Structure 1
Amino acid sequence: MNRRTATSVIFIGFFLLGMVFILWGIMLPDLAKSLVMSELVSGAFFTLISIGAITGAFVGGKYIQKFDFMSLFACLSLSVALLLVFMSSVNHWRWLLLGAFLLGFICSSLFTIGHTMIARLHAERRSTMMGLMDFMFSLGTLAAPFYISALYLIEHDWRWPLRWLALAIIGLAAYAWYAARRGKKFNLPAEPQHRKSLSYGEVIKRPIFFFLALAAIGYGAVEFGNANWFVSYAQQGRGFSGEEARMTFAFFTAGMVISRLGFSSLLRWMSPHRLMIVLAGIMAVGAFTIKFAIEPQLMSLGNLLVGLGLGGLFPLMLSSAMDIDSDKGPILSGICVIGSSVGVQLASFGTGFWASFASLNTAFWTIPIGALWLLAMVWIYSRHLKSHLQHQNKTID
């Protein structure tokens, strides 16, 4: 199996995973109405996805190196497809909550495989290729609102978007399995000779990676807090129609796509640690714009700024960490996924819990608060990264 085949499998997979993760927030009003879900239950749904992702990332980071990556990617993709079919058939929210945990568990392992493979396959262009991989994820999130709106024109039923998406993922699983069979003995560049489990302890005790995890918490809180609750917030808090709310949200996913496609070109003029701070600052301005805006135009601008800031931030933080210690790729990916999932849990469940006592309009303050946390942690992480690079340059000299 050549490098192009493996890369295409991961890129297609991340596009479909982007759709899988974002569509729940878009369809939340319909899910809540159909299955009689309160704000608290809705928050619990997203929390269970996060808990599943934390568990899956921890297990995946330690043990995925024991398996052939592409074969495992195929099996896990098929599991996601079957799970979507199951979730599209439930008639009570309790079963939906079970599916949420399993979905988070499986998908986080897929993320870990994808990050590790791309980082090792393209070590000479790690930042660029990881940015393109996450661009495919964002492209999936951008496509999701239009995909759902198009299917709703045929039949306004939240179950069918899940079923058609499951069919596409079955095709991905078949392609990944075909690629794995063609290159059964395929070894990734820089892959350790001995497939052994890795340790989180020896990685997280390093301050630079500890603050990477804290930044990932803020990242998850802002990205998926906004993704999961914005459509509901725009409808209930600002009186938007469903279509208007979905189209306003599309500016967020558009900003993510633009940022992930183009951030690496800015590295010609800015160092990674400086670009991180710039992107985090743009994100914070956007988060407060969304909260204070009333008009759709300003709210669209806020969503665009949040997307532009967040889009390049995750691949830039993770690729910079992998440049420091590429052999710990699965663990570093796991740390970022776990941190992000904790942030998702705090923002998603926190917003739902807060909204059960106050209005959703008030509870949406969790997003700007998360933005301030992310900005602070990125600043500290970037300082550690700058110090590491300066020390590395002195050692070389």
Structure 2
Amino acid sequence: MYRSRLVFFAACLGMLLFGIGLITLGSVATGLKAKFSLDDLSTGSLFSILPIGILTGSLIFGPLCDKYGYKVFLIISCLLMFTGFQGIAHTASISLLKMYIFLFGLACGAINGVANAVVSDISLVNKRSNLSLLGVFFAIGALGMPLILGVLENLFSFSKVISYVSFLTLIATVFFISIRFPPPKQLGGLPLLKGIKLIQDQTLILISLFLFCQSSFEGIINNWTTSYLIGQLSISQNKALFALSLYVAGMAVMRLLIISIFRNVKSPNILIISFFLLFLGCTFLKAGQSFPIAVSGLILIGAGLAAGFPVMLGIVGARYSDLSATAFSFVLVTALLGNMMVNYLMGMIAQIYGIKHLTTVAYFEIALMVVLTFTIIKKLNYNTIKKQ
């Protein structure tokens, strides 16, 4: 029999690794560019490999975990992540580097999916709160990696720092081996037919579309905010990166509030508060003629984005408990596709019409998320469903 607290800690450790992994490539881009004498186009091609790997990992983890359980898949993913870390740190071949980045991304996508799915499974009550706390560990990892690289940049090369950090994945692997996880749900063959029926469910499709918008919103803020602040306010890159860090901090703080002060607030009301924060944050960012106002806007946007994934994944976990990993796989893949597609679209908009239209895209996504949320609430009939 598994112990819920140990499994929850294991999921938090996995999410910490995902946060570290997701930000690593961007944090060492300058070092890789110099090491391999890459131009901007070649560097961009490396960045495109990571999301493909994450998408692949997110796609395959669900059916495999429902069939074989979480433990083996999580252990294999951690070992792949260690291999990716070491390869990025030490390889001298650009072709091998691309392979290591793909494996690294695959492991990150799988770990993210497993962490969310297993927390949903073990949380018989308070799924939303537990998933929110899980998200805090992602923020810690995402904030921690650039901090470690910044502190140690004058003492060690980026390759050594990555190599040292990689051993955290081995420590996690040993811990995962030592504990029990929930058993597999599907003891027969791979649940492909059930999975096909599952993804035809209208509510799951609506939730997937919401997360498509949520993930793409997060993506354009992560990837385009520094360019927006530099272009609109003429500030330095260091100040723009600092502002982006405060956006992540705003998300982390709000997730802590969701599990404490807002613990008993119903999910629809949490989302309404979130949309208000998003709208206010975008308004500050658009109208801000000074750095403090723009930073305030980013903090509000981070807070506004905090609830989307925990609330929607909590609904998915409760509604599709017999195939939770497969359902999570579907919605996470859709979310990642949104991130990739809207980021590409934002690049075209920025090139043709200017980076100032970042907030225009953001307002449009808020409107879509509001419509989708009320449609989902109507579908679920929250008046008769207990708060997740």
* 2:378 corresponds to: 387
- 1:234-383 mapped onto 2 (5 Å cutoff): 234=229, 239-265=234-260, 267=262, 270-287=265-282, 289-290=284-285, 293=288, 295-351=290-346, 362-363=354-355, 365=357, 367-383=358-374
| Alignment CA distance shift 1:91-1:291 (3 Å) | farther
In 1, the alpha carbon distance for the partners of 2:240 and 2:381 equals 46
TM-aligned CA distance change 1:8 to 1:371, over 3 Å: same
Residue type of the partner of 1:226? I
In the alignment, the residues of structure 2 paired with residue 129 and residue 307 of structure 1 have an alpha-carbon distance, to the nearest angstrom, of 19
Which is worse superposed, 2-11 or 33-42?
Answer: 33-42
Q: Spell out, residue by residue over 1:101-156, the C-alpha distance to the aligned partner (whole angstroms, 9 max, x if none).
A: 3322222111221122111111222111111111111121222332222122424x
Matched letter for residue 191 of structure 2 = S
Counterpart of 1:50 in structure 2 is: 51
How far has the Cα of 1:337 moved from its partner? 1.7
Structure 2: state its 5+ residue gaps: none
Hey, what does 1:197 align to over in structure 2? 191
Q: Supply the distance in 2 between the matched residues of 1:94 and 1:231 (Cα, whole angstroms).
A: 30
Deviations 1:53-86 (A, max 9, x none): 2222222122222223123212211110110111
**2:217 equivalent to 1:216:** no
Q: CA deviation at 1:209?
A: 1.5
Given the superposition, is the C-alpha separation of residues 389 and 217 from structure 1 closer, same or farther in structure 2, using an over 3 Å criterion? closer
CA contact (8 A) 1:88 1:160 kept: yes
Aligned residues: 383
RMSD over aligned Cα atoms: 3.1
User: What is aligned with 1:175?
Assistant: 175
- The answer as to whether partners of 1:15 and 1:136 remain within 8 angstroms in 2 is yes
Task: Tell me the TM-score normalized by structure 2.
Answer: 0.85
Are residues 277 and 207 of structure 1, via their aligned partners in 2, closer, same or farther at CA, if it must alter by over 3 Å?
farther
**Aligned twin of 2:19:** 18
Distance 1:391 1:247 in 2: 40
Q: Which has the higher contact order (CA 8 A, sep 6+)?
A: 1
Q: Give 1:51 shift.
A: 2.2
Pick closer, same or farther for the CA change 1:260–1:45 going to 2, 3 Å.
farther
- Per the TM alignment, residue 279 of structure 1 is displaced from its structure 2 partner at its CA by 1.1
CA displacement 1:279-313 (0-9 Å, x = unmatched): 13423443454455453322321221121011222
* TM-score (ref. length: structure 1): 0.84
Give the secondary-structure state (helix, strand or coil) at the position aligned to 1:346: helix
Of 370-379 and 104-113, more deviation after overlay is shown by 370-379
SS, match of residue 191 in structure 2: coil
Contact kept in structure 1, 2:61 and 2:73, CA below 8 Å: no
Structure 1 runs not aligned, ≥5 long = none
User: Which whole-Å CA distance do the structure 2 matches of 1:277 and 1:97 have between them?
Assistant: 42
Amino acid at match of 1:25: G
Q: CA deviation at 1:195?
A: 6.4
C-alpha distance in 2 between matches for 1:277 and 1:331: 28
Which residue identity is paired with 1:323?
A: A
